Structure 1
Amino acid sequence: MQRTLEKTRKQIVKKKGPMGTVHEGSRDSRRLRKALARDGRLGKLATNRKKQEQPLVDRASFFQESIRETGIEVFDTEQFLAAVKSFVHQHDEEMDELKQARRPGRPASMREDTLKVKVAALEKEFQNGFLAPDLTSKDNVALLELWDGTWLHLNSLHWVRVTDAGSLRSATFPPNKD
């Protein structure tokens, strides 16, 4: 990842020679500090972007696994809704286990609170329109089955918004956070 720093360091070594030392206040040391700061900023941006993209990658991989497990080429609306409901409620078993493991009168654990918030957000999204790859199209199911698990190829899939009432509407990918 430290591309800029390496390039700058190589240029300075080439100019100064292998034994060249850099004075603390020199132009070269400022170039090195600037390159190091830039690499740090780019690294933070990449980490934040990956953190924002990961839930959608996980979502697509869940639906890819459901396609492989069921072996269905094209989902009808009821099967698609069932797959979305299983995604929304995938943490219910773990929440029940955590609730049963807790002694009576004790507050919920941090993990239990996190799962409750996650499930509530997914249920709200399902009511308003859950973003999912379109499993009602044979071509899209084939593309999803061949998907390699990277963010880069997710935009080649057709995405839809599914509501709990069963309506499907086309959606853009990546979704806007407006």
Structure 2
Amino acid sequence: MMQRTLDKTRKQIVKKKGPMGTVHEGSRDSRRLRKALARDGRLGKLATSRKKQEQPLVDRAGFFQESIRETGIEVFDADQILAAVKSFVHQHDEEMGELKQTRRPGRPASMREDTLRAKIATLEKEFQNGFLVPDLTSKENVSALELWDGTWLHLNSLHWVRVTDAGALRTATFPPNKD
């Protein structure tokens, strides 16, 4: 899919001129090809960065989908949602402890340990302010999440809520605004 513009342009030029070897280096057609190649590169970079931004929310929905399947509960109450969110926030604690134990005394933290520490701090801060989760108090939403196919596209159809560390639930919009 990445070279869509380049393929279209190449096809048009071949249809008009014949084989690609007959295009002169400084011709208008070669400029069109370079421009199409540059555009495809830009679009590829944008798609990669968008996917990188969306992936944490896809992983989050996948975690809660797995917790629904493991527990078999049809509708969660506030305490069960709070317990599931806490397990999500602290899912990296065990790996963090292992990294601390394997590090020799006096040595700086590894890159992985620094990234885990930052990730855990971000998740805990979000949990204090309101952690974005699929609404597990609605039977329709739970069944929709259970049938979810793992793509970003269908996350929009789910209802989402924010859960605070005090256990308060409030409705939220999806995708969340990056303020």
TM above 0.5, yes or no, is yes
TM-score of the two chains, using structure 1 as the length reference:
0.98
Matched, 1:114 2:115: yes
> What residue is the counterpart of 2:74 in the other structure?
73
Figure out how many residues of one structure are paired with residues of the other and give that number. 178
Aligned twin of 1:140: 141
1:1-178, aligned counterparts within 5 Å? 1-18=2-19, 21-178=22-179
Q: Using the TM superposition, give the Cα deviation of residue 154 of structure 1 relative to its aligned residue in structure 2, in angstroms.
A: 0.2
**Structure 1 gaps, min length 5:** none
- Say whether the 8 Å CA contact 1:13–1:20 is kept in structure 2: no
Percent of aligned positions with the same letter in both sequences?
A: 90
Instruction: For residues 81-117 of structure 1, give each alpha carbon's deviation from its aligned partner in whole angstroms, at most 9, with x where no partner exists.
Output: 0000000000000000001111112111111111011
Which runs of 5 or more residues in structure 2 are unaligned?
Answer: none
Verify the 8 A CA contact 1:98 1:112 in the aligned structure 2: yes
SS of equivalent to 1:170:
strand
Bigger shift: residues 123-132 or 17-26:
17-26
TM-align CA RMSD: 0.8
**1:20 Cα deviation after fit:** 5.1
- Give TM-score, length-normalised by structure 2: 0.98
Q: Secondary structure at the match of 1:132?
A: strand
Deviation per residue, 1:96-142 (Å, 9 max, x gap): 00011111121111111110110011000000000010111111000
CA distance in 2: counterparts of 1:30 and 1:110, whole angstroms: 44
CA separation of 1:101 and 1:26: change in aligned 2, threshold 3 A: same
Inter-CA distance 177–3: structure 2 relative to 1 (3 Å threshold): same
TM superposition shift of 1:18: 2.8
SS in 2 for 1:153: helix
Alpha-carbon offset, residue 169 of structure 1: 0.4
Residue deviations 1:54-82, cap 9 Å, x none? 00000000000000000000011000000
